[in-house]
Structure 1
């Protein structure tokens, strides 16, 4: 009897790239290798997830600087803190759910309170896996936004990740970065002036009918939606906000004021509770900026398991759903 070929795809490692879209394989792993060639302080540490966070690329190049801590996220964080105290720059990888839910107190007490130079890079943020609530970190930003001293990065694509790695090495202090892994889309190449900077939001597209402020993979969705909306005669600005904390308050306020009287959307791959949307909403209230404010994000509930395209449609973060929501609200105001 001939054995059936083993399938090589799964909801766990499904790509968010559209068919035919340009991608880069394992941009984080390769960028960290290049950074480590220049900086001998860099070490890589993981909690049994090197292959699924692309850190195995680093481990293959620098086996003597690669530490496999086993299925013990609390130990990973504590050991990373020890490495930082000895002058190393440790990059720690796990899944976002394990970093935020399981290892929170160790990050807080061992790393953030001491302001140690530890970089936590976590895969499967938000709805980037179909494996259900045990692996969907829909609330990680909400959990970490309240932690003092912790910088939070939510990159959009392969270019963002590559540039963010170098920025994290240069930055002295604890960082949490949400990781898109595997075959990661290249979205920002079409914007030649773009350069990732910690704490800086940047306008990618200009339009007078609406403003979308976005982070992470939702910046990709916003750009795609803006292209489709332009074909309908709706011109949309897109502001990419890859750093959630510290927030680029001045740029955000300036962009919203330029769209006075027009709808403002915040799009994020995260629950609408406690993430970028609420951070922007609170900022606008503090600054006395009036705006017709809308959130595009995941609902405040445990999400279903399933195929990612289906789930993205169901929970409103696919390009199609973004186009529908923006077009509907713009049309209502016309």
Structure 2
């Protein structure tokens, strides 16, 4: 268990002023040893100085561990098991570390904490606190023993999602869906939305016995003339610095044009054909990746090719929606 002078993976001591802003206290901030202050510790110090002279302060102790939370389906999650003591009352909690080994480092700061702390929905894991451990910010989350996805793998739990007639979702599940949709609508109405949509932001599925589908396979499902009329004006074939069409697409064009049967010719001045060749590559990936070596060397699988599409056009999914609407719409 950590003390004020020993703050590391085992635990950290924090103070919570009455206005709800968490202030991290360590030996550096209380002393004049400024050379040792973390790069953003000044922010916490300023917050401390702005608090009332007689604040309503409660000490809390966060005790962390190296134990990862194991989900209900025995998969390890990116949360660590910890305990959270406020006064004499300890409770289990989850610790969310900053992700420092990813390609885009994800960190949390005082601003993020201030926003997330105010999200209080009984179906959401809540943000309890925020602290810093040797320059690595961490979030303290309320305790859960698994994810909804893993919980739903039980047939008994699946039945709990529906009313007694098994004909409609139960009231609390409907309310969860309504709350999430309302939140998204509120954010969109206030101009808060991602500037671009990528594969990882999309999820499509079919009802009943259908299998999960790729939206990419439907990009030319509409009538050819209708799609052509709705294509955005700035949609064009991707090119390299020389001005030539991207070599991956050129390799597929050459293969399609020269194969013995079912030859197909793509017009590189026609935006619709760009969508058509992308759809063809995705739909016949296993055949084309075998017959076109350059395609296989450039993309290990279909998801790699989709991400390549996204690198060509950051608005690709928005453009496809404008052209053909939501998959399945008439």
Q: Which has the higher contact order (CA 8 A, sep 6+)?
A: 1
Q: State the TM-score, normalizing by the size of structure 1.
A: 0.22
Mark the structure with the bigger radius of gyration: 2
